[in-house]
Amino acid sequence: MQYCDVRVTVQAQWANGYVVAVTVTNISAVPVTWYATLTLQPPGYIVQVWNVSVTTSGTSVRIWPPWNPVLLPGQSVSFGYTGSGQLALPTVICQPVTG
């Protein structure tokens, strides 16, 4: 079952950098949690993020909301990042809230 609609927009791109904006919308009938991952191509790195927290481990990046990560049905959240190097787009994971 698909829980979220994810819209990824490359807002700008140049020789060794880019800006990506993402909107995640809960399209299901149940509350969901979400996070995003992406893999950077060396020597790429994330320069700046907005509306999210981020951790990196080598070339792996995990992005998540710094506030309550639950999206109620119909709710959306938007975030973005500026990267250096080759364009890296996120994979967003939405899961129903359990417990």
Q: What is the CATH number of domain 4-96?
A: 2.60.40.290
**Residue 67: both structure tokens together:** 């506030």
Give the residue extent of every domain in the chain: 4-96
Q: What is the pTM of this model?
A: 0.92
Q: How many helices (H) and strands (E) does the chain have?
A: 0, 9
Whole-number average pLDDT of the chain: 94
pLDDT at 98: 85
The model's pLDDT over 43-85, given as tens digits with 9 standing for 90+, comes to: 999 999 999 999 999 999 999 998 878 999 999 999 999 999 9
pLDDT over threshold 90, residue 20: yes
Buried b (16+ CB within 10 A) or exposed e, 41-75: eeebebeebeebebeeeeeebebbbeeeeebeeee
DSSP structure class, residue 41:
P
